[in-house]
Amino acid sequence: MLKKFYPGEYVDSTYEIDFDGLYAQGYRGIIFDIDNTLVPHDAPADARARGLFAHLKELGFACTLLSNNKEPRVKTFNDAVQVSYICKAGKPKPGNYRLAMERMGTDTTNTLFVGDQVFTDIYGANLAGIRSVLVKPIHPKEEIQIVLKRYLEKIVLFFYKRSCVK
């Protein structure tokens, strides 16, 4: 039952992902959550985020930001990284994951999703049939509804980690 929430991979940080290796494996599109995946909650795109997107573009990746936030937040972040974006995405509903792939010209076989929340980001990517990478939140400061979900995420991640040891 919990497997539908399991990520394909679980890593410490977005910035530790081997994107060069993923490109060599045939991945061509990456969908990213923003808050606590790329920067702390509500923070602007920093030099590290701008550098990441510059590198991804050099490699040949198409990228889309997929956020449940409103347009002012997402657009402001995107102004610094200049990729496609979808705001008020309604994650975990899979429709906007599919729209992101359509815009990037990719499909479920060559698209990757990167996010920090199990019940929105990862579950939605799994529903859409996309390989998912869960990253640890960048900063502990979060909205109360997210803080409450983190307790439930710990249960899912306990069983996920246990399943990986076998």
Per-residue pLDDT tens digits for 109-149: 999 999 999 999 999 999 999 999 999 999 766 666 676 67
- At residue 122, what is the residue type? I
What is the fold, at CATH topology level, of the domain defined by 2-165?
Rossmann fold (3.40.50)
Tokens of 101: 């792939």
The CA dihedral of 142, 143, 147, 153, to the nearest 10 degrees, is -80
Which element (helix H / strand E) includes 7?
Answer: none
Is the whole model's pTM more than 0.85, yes or no?
yes
Residue 166 Cα distances to 90, 134, 159, 161, angstroms: 34, 20, 11, 9
- Sequence spans of domains, the chain: 2-165
For residue range 32-66, list pLDDT tens digits in order: 999 999 999 899 999 999 999 999 999 999 999 99
User: What percentage of residues in the chain have a pLDDT greater than 70?
Assistant: 93
- The reply to whether omega before 72 is within 30° of 0 (cis) is no
